[in-house]
Structure 1
């Protein structure tokens, strides 16, 4: 148990990756390089928009593999 507010800073801390803000990274990719990263299940999109994205993705990359569960 640590009684004080002191926290030991490990020299290995520089190698721990920073937590990414994925939405910020996606926004930056779109604005700077024209790259679009969208989840097929993004709830901000309506059904028509998700279908359109799925059709474009299937045309460019082929159908998704079915995951058996």
Structure 2
């Protein structure tokens, strides 16, 4: 019978963050705070939904091609 030798576990391993379920965070944000996080490349959206989201984003935050306005003061 072959018993594998236990590997040395680095003490820093417990400090590694747990992987986050991004979709669960988005779902929780929508349900609790009514914050919607969606990407235009999300395959669950059809063309009209993508276009609507793109237009809302550009209206609120400007076009991604627009130069950023720098304000000093």
Q: What range describes the TM-score normalised by the shorter chain of this pair?
A: 0.7 to 0.9
Is 1:46 the counterpart of 2:41? The answer is: no
Is 1:9 the counterpart of 2:9? The answer is: yes
How many matched pairs? 64
Higher-Rg member (1/2): 2
Q: For the aligned residues, what is the CA RMSD?
A: 2.0
User: Which segments of 5 or more consecutive residues in structure 1 lack a partner in the other structure?
Assistant: none
Length-normalised TM-score, structure 2: 0.75
**Residues 52 and 9 of structure 1, relative CA distance in 2, 3 Å threshold:** same
User: Which segments of 5 or more consecutive residues in structure 2 lack a partner in the other structure?
Assistant: 67-73
Length-normalised TM-score, structure 1: 0.79
